Structure 1
Amino acid sequence: MTVTYVLSGFAVGLLVGLTGVGGGSLMTPLLTLMFGVSPTVAVGTDLAFASTTKAVGTLAHRVRGTVRWDVVRHLCLGALPAALATTLALKYFGQLDKEIGKIIRYSIAGSVLLTVFALLFRGRMQAWVLAHPEKQLQGRGLAAATIIIGAVLGALVTISSIGAGAVGATLLVLLYPRLSPAEIAGTDIAYAVPLTAIAAAGHWWLGSINWMLLATLLLGSVPGITIGSLAARAMPEKFMRALLAATLTAVAAKLVF
């Protein structure tokens, strides 16, 4: 089973390296559907997994100067309190374990479908926003919207471990359409580090992290992400995103039905 976990980590890491998204939206359903890990443990373990890998990614983007720290600050103002509040809610309702497990399972499915939507329509949404500059928020309105979106993502990520990647990046594109793709990616990864770290700490407090499982997943994902990143230029982006969207749709359907 340990070898299977390592190979699964490698496969997810490879796909993330090729496409830039899909870590949480693939890893959490994979753990619940293929390996029978309970939804709460799958979410907690994936959050610890994400906080480790995203910290490395943030360092790389910081060196390249592709992080908008003012946007990160506003996102964190909403996301971090929301993550803490959601953790306390999970602790309070923990005695309803079966019902909470079902809620988390459906939350995972919903988050996966949001990721699919973000993958398929992000370019079109960005084009529409750029074509209608009068619709773009400015000043305090933009800051408030960023904080609110951070809060929504904070709750979503804490419950399902999904949403900080493709969904978060898509929302950033809509709010800040003039940021470069590198700045979107760097900013999205940077705010997700404290968010996933706090959410992971909350799940550690709840006792829902499998540390041995985490270690084996990281053992496979690190080389997978490296190889995928190196091979990304040789693979058509549209093909890979379509493949990922199809895979995630099938995963969401399996989670629900």
Structure 2
Amino acid sequence: MRVDFDFTMAIGSFLVAIVVGLTGMGGGALMTPMLVTFFGVPPLAAVSSDLVAAAVMKPVGSLVHLRRGTVHLRMVGWLCAGSVPAAFCGVLIARALGDGEDVQKVIQKALGVALLIAATGLAVRGYLAMRDNAERRTAATGRRTAEPGEPAATAPPAAVPVRPLPTVVIGVIGGLVVGMTSVGSGSLIIVALLAVYPALKANQLVGTDLVQAVPLVMSAAIGHLIFGDFQLSVTVALLAGSIPGVYIGSRISSRAPGGLIRRALAFVLLASALKMFDVSTTATVWVLVGVLVAAPVFWMFLRTRHGLPALPWARGAATPAETGRPPADL
């Protein structure tokens, strides 16, 4: 079989993968809109090809968290009980809608919703990092004692009791969204887990989410291989760029200002979502300007609520306990 290789697409996936390596998020949320907006790939084909490429890439990060012991395996099991069959059903729903232009529009709108969720997920991840740094700060200065029944800061993930029903529901909703749009395995689910399991630390939430995403994405990928609009040439270009991109991004992640990158990424995702909804350029500019003005003020308010200086670069903003990994996430 002859495969047409698109070098431009490979370069685009390389740049996106660097961001993924730096932040741990944004794979489907950036890759799929890039394929639709800049390369004219039909939405369903973009979703199918991106999911197959993600199925190859996802296990790498999950193995790191498994070795570090930051994965709640029982929670992963309940999440997969809902997400794996739901992801396959999401593919069937997308396929049952048909192949016409109207169907591509539906997928495009669903992708827009998923991008908004992904932007929210990035904001939540930044909040988690800030909250954890605030807790380490108070622990280092000895100004805070644990409340009765509160888990210790070093408690393993398994110490947090699992709530099966809401966990399965999270998996079902996340699986459906991923199956239809390829977005959500690293954003929608982590936001829901934060709401249900506030006692989990940030790295435990990320590790648990990454591991459960492996069978979830594989289920969706298999569904799209069978019923979707998979294009081998698109997937090959994505893998050719994303494999070295993720490696390079991961190598420099410890030195890069991760918090700043996540904020910029959330801004790009919001702009991409508005593009998927066919919002006019004028309205998009006004929305983005409003976010640029309001978001920093709200973030400073959250910092002060957690006992941190409003500005991260203010004197005394970071303690030695906070300078491990990474202070830019403040």
Q: Does the TM-score normalized on the shorter chain lie above 0.5?
A: yes
Pick one of 240, 244, 247 that aligns with 2:261. 240
Please name the residue that 1:43 is paired with. 47
**Superposition misfits of 4+ residues, deviation over 3 angstroms:** 121-127
**Corresponding residue for 1:99?**
102
**Counterpart residue type for residue 123 of structure 2:** L
Change (3 A) 1:121 1:83: closer
Is residue 32 from structure 1 mapped to residue 36 from structure 2 by the alignment?
yes
Q: Relative to structure 1, is the Cα distance of residues 122 and 221 closer, same or farther in structure 2, using a 3 angstrom cutoff? A: closer
Deviations 1:1-54 (A, max 9, x none): 721111111101100111111100000000000000000010011111111111
Whole-angstrom CA distance in 1 between matches of 2:164 and 2:263:
33
Residue number in structure 2 paired with 1:113: 116
Aligned letter for 1:91?
R
- Displacement, 1:107? 0.7
Tell me if the contact between 1:154 and 1:195 (Cα under 8 Å) persists in the aligned partners: yes
Do the aligned partners of 1:83 and 1:199 also contact (CA within 8 Å) in 2?
Answer: yes
2:78 maps to 1:74:
yes
Whether the 8 Å contact between 2:14 and 2:244 is mirrored in structure 1 is yes
Tell which deviates more after alignment, 208-217 or 26-35.
208-217
Q: Which has the larger radius of gyration?
A: 2
Asked if 1 retains the 8 angstrom alpha-carbon contact of 2:125 and 2:202, the reply is no
What is the CA-CA distance between 1:86 and the residue it aligns to? 2.4
Change (3 A) 1:192 1:212: same
What secondary structure sits across from 2:254 in the alignment?
helix
Task: Please say if 1:7 is aligned against 2:28.
Answer: no
Q: Greater relative contact order (Cα 8 A, min sep 6): structure 1 or 2?
A: 1
8 Å CA contact 2:89–2:179 kept in 1: the answer is no
Matches of 2:49 and 2:253 in 1, distance apart? Answer: 27
Asked if 1:159 is matched to 2:180, the reply is yes
Distance 1:124 1:223, change over 3 A: closer
Q: Which segments of 5 or more consecutive residues in structure 2 lack a partner in the other structure?
A: 136-146, 150-159, 279-330
Contact 1:19 1:240 (8 Å CA) reproduced: yes
Deviation at 1:223, TM superposition (A): 1.4
User: Could you tell me which of 238, 242, 259 is aligned with 1:221?
Assistant: 242
Question: Are the aligned partners of 2:48 and 2:225 in contact in 1 as well (CA < 8 Å)?
Answer: yes
Deviation (angstroms), 1:124: 4.7
Q: Is the 2:44–2:228 Cα contact (8 Å) retained in structure 1?
A: no
TM-score, normalisation: structure 1: 0.89
CA drift at 1:168: 1.8
Quote the offset at 1:240 in angstroms: 0.8
Could you give the per-residue CA deviations for residues 166-217 of structure 1, whole angstroms, max 9, x where no partner exists?
Answer: 2222222222223233322221111111111111111111241111221121
The answer to whether the 8 Å contact 2:178/2:184 transfers is yes
Q: Cα offset for 1:146?
A: 0.8
Distance in 1, Cα, partners of 2:255 & 2:56: 27
**CA–CA separation in structure 1 for the residues paired with 2:120 and 2:59:** 26
Task: Measure the CA separation in 2 of the matches of 1:133 and 1:22.
Answer: 38
Task: Give structure 1 stretches of 5+ with no counterpart.
Answer: none
Matches within 5 A, 1:165-244: 165-244=186-265
Greater helix content: 1
- 1:61-105 deviation line (CA, Å, top 9, x unaligned): 22222221101111111112212322332333325x222211110
- Report the equivalent of 2:171: 150
Amino acid at match of 2:209: D
- 2:94 corresponds to: 90
Tell me by how many angstroms 1:237 deviates.
2.4
1:199 is paired with a residue of what secondary structure? helix
- State the identity %: 37
Question: For the aligned residues, what is the CA RMSD?
Answer: 2.4
Shift of 1:133: 10
- In 2 relative to 1, CA 38–64 (structure 1 residues): closer, same or farther, beyond 3 Å? same
Contact 2:91 2:228 in 1 (8 A): no
